[in-house]
Amino acid sequence: MNYKIENIKQIIVTKPLKLDCGQTIKDFPIAYETYGKLNKEKNNAILIFHALSGDQFVSETNPVTNKEGWWCTAVGRGKAVDTEKYFIICANVLGGCMGSFGPKNLNAADGEPYGLKFPVITIRDMIKAQESLLEHFEIKKLLSVLGGSMGGMQLLQFCALYPDKTFSAVPIAATASHNAQQIALNELARQAIMSDPLWNKGNYYKDKKIPKNGLAVARMAAHITYMSDKGLQERFGRKLQEKKDYEFTFDADFQIESYLRHQGNVFVDRFDANSYLYISRAMDYFDLSKQFKNGLVGAFQNHRARFLIISFSSDWLYPTKNSKDIVIALNASGANVAFAEIKTDKGHDSFLVNEPEFLETLKGFLDSNFEIFKNEK
Amino acid sequence: MKNEFKIIANLLPEQSRVLDVGCGDGTLIEALIKQKNIDARGIELEEKKVKQCISKGLSVIQGNAETELGQFPDKAFDFAVLSQTLQAFYKPDNVLNELLRIGKKVIISIPNFGYWQVRTSLLFFGKMPVTKSLPDSWYNTPNLHMCSIKDFYHFCDKKKIKMDKIIGINNEKISSINRINLEMKNLLSEVGIFLIS
């Protein structure tokens, strides 16, 4: 986690932000990245929200990890979200570890990293913190907001808080509230981290002995939930890892074991364990319907944005039913809504991989809405 | 755009709120938005067609009208439109009740099983009819509950559904249908369009 800070763009949010937990923060950094150019009319801006393990580096090469941005399949020159045409903004979430205010930041009070002294944050806090970016770029109304998984939760929260700030919205494989199974899976990940002795109640920054094993197990468990049974079987089956027979040990005999271990190992190099705790907690606390008198319907009452809800048939982490509940609420509130379930074996991760049906739908929606938005003015 | 859609479009006032149930590739919705500034939405079962609609910027949701109309509030739309699909539902009467609940008025078109070509096919050849508006064979037709214009007329009468307007289509010709000319029009119309409430 040796970040080259010079590669990270930041704004300092000076406005005091009262968090849901009761604490107030101010003068904190929000890191962001942009792609493409904002046009003169300022009507081609798209705000993307990242998922639990994501960051602001959506496209091109991530300058910190030197790997591809997490949504290169969808965002870039000539891609579904075309950076030749649109101006893309993505912020690292509050509580994150890629330059935004998070638990590894130094606490001015004692000069030590916050660790568990960092306030517990919510999805709503994340959105309020990011809103300053629109002011920064002087954008009155975005063409669209996009977000998959936890990005979709942020998106719904954004739309509910700021109904006039976007022309369209595409929540992908999302949910309006975490259910028991989703909370359970997050708890499993948190327990994996917290039971690593090196976690040390969140104080591990000083000695640089980070709870790698715990965080890697958390990532492995999460990774399984991002893929479908069929997808896993087709890709790995019972194939052995560079060997002809069982070795009768507990090393990675199977390819799937080796794959998961690899996913765990590469993750710990770029992600902070405490950030994982905080962000996953924010997801668990998320229940948009609780914020409004009239439940989820109230969240979108008289909403004028044009919504496209997308789910994936083999996603069992945020299944189609979660998306349909959003569609139903939007319809009940009279909002403008389109909905498509993409048939695929690629599970929850379908939105990150090359899934042509999904990418075509997204592109068609954005391009046609850009035309409508331009003509509206 | 086919004649039937033009007639339906003529029945709809400008700037009204319309739900097209089983909207296909969105041809009707698109025309309504462009020509009459209508706030038109759609629901469609087939993923491929839904995608086509979304790519045109239309607000269409993928779903089964048989089971998913419940999500719309009462009188959510000025008009609910159902074009030649009533006969394909398992329970057409339930779907019709739902349409009348969510739309202040409902426009329904039906392929007329009382059309003379349909009758002669059975009468003279003893075979299930295959015509322009009933193009499928008995073994692959999606139609489960065929009816004639007269059947639907009597059904509405019995259920005390108000028939504001009935239009018969025969090729390019359109005509108004009422109680008096019902027998004749039932024989001569290929498709019937009912505006009910």
The predicted-structure confidence for A265-286, as pLDDT tens digits, reads as follows: 999 999 999 999 999 999 999 9
User: Of A50, A178, A303, A348, which is the active-site residue?
Assistant: A348
The answer as to whether A254 is a domain residue is yes
Interface confidence, given as ipTM, is 0.90
The answer as to whether A31 is a domain residue is yes
pLDDT at residue number B134: 87
Query: Between A334, A337, A340, which is nearest B76 by CB?
Result: A334
pLDDT at A118 over 70: yes
Quick check: is A348 catalytic?
A: yes
pLDDT at residue number B170: 92
pLDDT at A227 over 90: yes
Q: Where in the sequence is the domain holding A88, given as residue range(s)?
A: 5-178+289-376
Chain A CA closest to residue B68: A328
Average pLDDT rounded to a whole number, residues A123-144: 97
pLDDT at A27 over 60: yes
Q: What's the CATH code of the domain at B153? A: 3.40.50.150
pLDDT at A2 over 70: no
The answer as to whether A284 is a domain residue is no
Residues A47 and A157 occupy one common structural domain: yes
Residues A105 and A202 occupy one common structural domain: no
Domain count, chain A: 2
Domain count, chain B: 1
Q: What's the CATH code of the domain at A74? A: 3.40.50.1820
Tally C-beta pairs within 8 A across A and B.
65
Quick check: is A272 catalytic?
A: no
- Which domain-ending residue is among A220, A247, A279? A279
Q: Which residues in chain B land under pLDDT 70?
A: none
The model carries a pTM of 0.94
- Which domain-ending residue is among A279, A311, A330? A279
Contact A364 B71 (CB under 8 A): no
The predicted-structure confidence for B155-169, as pLDDT tens digits, reads as follows: 999 999 999 999 999
pLDDT at residue number A377: 62
User: What is chain A's mean pLDDT, rounded?
Assistant: 96
Q: What share of chain A is helix, strand, coil (3-state, %, to 5)?
A: 40, 20, 45
pLDDT at residue number A1: 45
Residues A235 and A297 occupy one common structural domain: no
Average pLDDT rounded to a whole number, residues A35-50: 98
Chain A CA closest to residue B60: A338
Contact A365 B59 (CB under 8 A): no
Residues A246 and A145 occupy one common structural domain: no
Q: Where in the sequence is the domain holding B82, given as residue range(s)?
A: 3-196
Q: What's the CATH code of the domain at A270? A: 1.10.1740.110
Residues A299 and A273 occupy one common structural domain: no
CA of A366 to nearest chain B CA: how many angstroms apart? Answer: 8
pLDDT at residue number B171: 85
Contact B54 A340 (CB under 8 A): yes
pLDDT at A50 over 50: yes
User: Of A149, A275, A314, A323, which is the active-site residue?
Assistant: A149
Within the 294-333 window of chain A, which residues sit less than 8 Å (CB to CB) from chain B? 306, 308-309, 327-328, 331-332
Query: Between A336, A343, A367, which is nearest B59 by CB?
Result: A336
A63: confidence class by pLDDT, cuts 50, 70, 90:
very high
The predicted-structure confidence for A84-111, as pLDDT tens digits, reads as follows: 999 999 999 999 999 999 999 999 999 9
A4: confidence class by pLDDT, cuts 50, 70, 90:
low
Average pLDDT rounded to a whole number, residues A46-75: 96
Average pLDDT rounded to a whole number, residues A359-375: 96
Residue pair A105/A113 in contact by the 8 Å Cβ criterion: yes
Residues A24 and A167 occupy one common structural domain: yes
Contact A336 B58 (CB under 8 A): no
Residues A232 and A337 occupy one common structural domain: no
Residues A132 and A266 occupy one common structural domain: no
